[in-house]
Structures are given as structure tokens and as C-alpha cells.
Amino acid sequence: MKQGYFIPSTHHIVETDIKRSQFITHIGHATNRAEAEAFIKQLRLTHPQATHVCWAYIAGAPNTTVTSMSDDGEPSGTAGRPMLNALQHSGLGEIVAAVVRYFGGTKLGTGGLQRAYGGCVKEALATLPTQEKIAQTTLVLECGYEFEALIRHLLTYYPAQLVQCDYGEKLSMQLLVAIDQCEALKADLINRSAGAIQVKQSLEK
């Protein structure tokens, strides 16, 4: 079973008019809090005349606690919370949503605002292009130089990437491997080398 999740693959924009107010929803990719906040800051610069720029994000895997939201001047709980709820129910990770509002003169009321902001994000999510992100782990191998060809050959059969190769007293290779294939690759390397290839480190990424 793959231990991964889906993330936005592009900056996605959807515009909606609700009772003469213009709502422009932006969905983007953010691997961490800094990237999410930079995305929001850029939108504020792009829309300096906007009445509100409300936002929410999940800066990591779908179950991460690194989340945040803002009503940006709208009544408390009417914008950021319904936006974050929409993101959390989407099952997506590493995602930031911002809704730029240009007020059209008609007040929507508390319930109307909640439906507007939550609905705008849901509408944008329905057409959002996504891609799968597979959870990976880092393996550091150490062995004699005679095993380099074997390792490189085995890597062609696995979802793995050679990140670094150091030629010191022994050969040291750093690999990025899909978590669901990690144990199989480790077993293959050890069996094929009769234990001569040592896995020195394994870190989730």
C-alpha cells in the first residue's frame, strides 16, 4: 500500500460573483508554513484594493497539525474556518487557499459569508489539477567499490533515486526510496551482497 497523498500541481484560480461581490479563489502548493504565507503575501500585493484576502492552509501531509486560517476582517469564523474545513475534507496535502473579495455593496450575513467562502474553495477544489506525492525515506549505504554496479543495477527496478555518491575509503551512497518499497530494496541489497552492503541510516522524508 502506497503511503502518499495528492497535492496541487499548479496555481489554480476560479472567479465567482455572489450578490455583486467578486470572489477570486486561488489554490496553490505549499510544503511548509513559509511557502503558504509567501503565497498569501503575494496575493495581497497583487490585489491591493481588495476588501478582504481570507485564507487557510495545510502545510504538509493531510493529517498535519501545521494549519492556519484568517478571516482578514470578515466576522469571526465566517471565512477562514469554512475554507480550512473544505481543505481538510478534500484529503489533499501541502495546500494553501486564499479568497480575494471585492465587496459589491450587498451584505451576505454570517451564514451567507460561511457558505460563500466555503463554497468558493469547494468549487475551486472540484477542478484543481493534482499529482500524487509518494512518501519517501532516505537510505545511506556503505560497502566496497565492487558493489557499485550491483547497487546501480538494482535501483533500476525500484522507485528510487541516487542523491549522492561519495568515494572515500569505502563507497557511500545516499538514496531516496518510496517507503512502501524500502524494505524490499534493503532485503535485495543485503541478499545479493551476502550482507556486505550495510544500510547505515534510514530517515523519513
- CA nearest neighbour of 5 among 176, 135, 127: 135
| Per-residue confidence (pLDDT) for residue 153, from 0 to 100 | 92
**What are the CA-CA distances from residue 9 to residues 30, 94, 124, 133 (Å)?**
11, 10, 13, 10
Residues 6+ apart with CB under 8 A from 7: 29, 92, 93, 94, 95, 130, 131, 132, 133
Closest CA relative to residue 52, chosen from 40, 38, 68, 36: 40
Q: Residues in the chain with pLDDT < 50?
A: 1
Task: Give pLDDT tens digits for 95-113.
Answer: 999 999 999 989 999 999 9
Q: What is the pLDDT of residue 1?
A: 40
- Structural domains of the chain sorted by starting position, each given as residue range(s) with its CATH number in brackets: 4-132 (3.30.230.30), 135-204 (3.30.70.240)
pLDDT, tens digit (0-9, with 9 covering 90-100), for 4-37: 899 999 999 999 999 999 999 999 999 999 999 9
Model confidence pTM above 0.75: no
The predicted structure's pLDDT at residue 135: 78
